[in-house]
Amino acid sequence: MRSCYIGFDTSNYTTSAAVCDGEGHIVANLKLPLPVKEGERGLRQSEAVFEHVRNLPALMDRLSTAIEAYTPVAVGVSVRPRDAEGSYMPCFLSGRSAAYAFAACRGLKVNEFSHQNGHIMAALYSSGRLDLLGSERFLAFHVSGGTTEALLVSPREDGFSVELVGNTDDINAGQAIDRVGVAMGLKFPCGAELERLAAEYRGKIFSHPVCVRKGICSLSGVENIAGRIYAQSGDRNAAAAFVFDFLGKTLEKMCADIMAEYGKMPVIFAGGVMSNKLMRSRLSLSFDAYFSEPEFSADNAAGIALLCKNKAIL
């Protein structure tokens, strides 16, 4: 039977497992979203852990079916948000427990990674830029509901070494999107529906200066300004268009600031927010930018499975 490598990831909103074959192809990318009550803007960690525990039996059944023609060689799992001291979220304990249980009954080794490095690896794979694993460094943005960070990434044999060179000093991009969307009556998570509303807008987009200082951005104003646009006009399309215009300009300025200091280099955009086509178009015009497909932009275990394969064959 063919060999394979298994990845597990339990982020705050998705229970995920993935299978990578011996040639480095993702042959299964399995995901179950965590339910969020209508009108709510997210989950507490205790709620996320509970929902992962509920999701895991069904996900494990799907995983068993996906690997029927394969022999698992090693298991990877995300155990922390990012590779930084003190980086911790209880929701990752769910996936860690599942990974070690899966591995123990098969006598397999478990390799631990960060959720963020999984996102970077999934983006490299999906965008067709795995060749950057052989480069000295590249720039990566991880933009989601829980993270808005810019990272100088230096590939290593067993993964990545990352240096934080930009981030938000208040709320994250995904939080801004969801807060605006929920306030306008959209269902959480709001990214896809808000993007549809923005794409339908044909008027002049309200312009407001972005707040970026040496790669550090502030995003809390997005919620307030979009709220005023909607309150004064009742136009959800106009408010949505403003949100993505502002976020796109912010990422553009962050990227320009960082490259002015560290030099031009390829930039990879990862995380659920970066599935947005409107922001992709803007950023592609200004930089040597690469984006993963939506399936690999949102939370997933594919990058973890790929990292596991790379580490296991060393």
pLDDT at 3: 97
Number of domains in the chain: 2
Residues 274 and 299 in one domain: no
Same domain, 18 and 61: yes
237 and 171, same domain (yes or no): yes
Q: How high is the mean pLDDT of the chain? A: 96
Q: Are residues 217 and 286 both part of a single domain?
A: yes
The pLDDT score that the predictor gives to residue 169 is: 97
The pLDDT, as a whole number, for residue 254 is: 98
pLDDT of residue 40: 87
**Per the domain annotation, does 158 fall within a domain?**
no
Lowest mean pLDDT among 34-43, 65-74, 108-117: 34-43
Same domain assignment for residues 109 and 172: no
Do 68 and 113 fall within a single domain?
A: yes
Percent of the chain with pLDDT over 70: 100
Q: What is the CA radius of gyration of the chain?
A: 19
pLDDT at residue 205 tops 90: yes
The verdict on 306 and 244 lying in the same domain is no
Asked whether residue 258 is domain-assigned, the answer is: yes
Inter-residue contact 72 to 108 (CB < 8 Å): yes
pLDDT mean over 185-206: 96
One domain, residues 201 and 259: yes
State pLDDT tens for residues 210-223.
999 999 999 999 99
Please determine, for residue 90, whether its predicted confidence score (pLDDT) is greater than 80: yes
Residue 313 in this model has a pLDDT that exceeds 80: no
Domain with 264 in it = 167-294
C-alpha to C-alpha distance for 261 and 118, rounded to whole angstroms: 26
Residue 229 lies in a domain: yes
The CATH number linked to 55 is: 3.30.420.40
Residue 138 inside a domain? The answer is no
The whole-number average pLDDT for the span 30-43 is 92
pLDDT exceeds 90 at position 6: yes
* Structural domain includes residue 157: no
For residue 38, the model assigns a pLDDT of 87
CA distance 262 to 94: 38
Predicted confidence band of residue 159 (pLDDT cuts 50, 70, 90): confident
CA 239 to chain centre: 24
Do 221 and 308 belong to one domain? no
Q: What pLDDT score does 39 carry?
A: 86
Residue 65 has a pLDDT of: 98
Same domain, 269 and 307: no
Q: What tens digit of pLDDT does each residue of 277-296 get? A: 999 999 999 999 999 899 99
Calculate mean pLDDT across residues 101-127. 97
The span from the CA of 19 to the CA of 8, in Å, is 9
Same domain, yes or no: 199 and 94: no
Domain assignment present for 261? yes
Q: Tokens 């230096």 appear where?
A: 154
Question: Does 209 fall in a domain?
Answer: yes
pLDDT for residue 195? 97
- Asked if residue 49 is part of any domain, the answer here is yes
Residues 302 and 188 in one domain: no
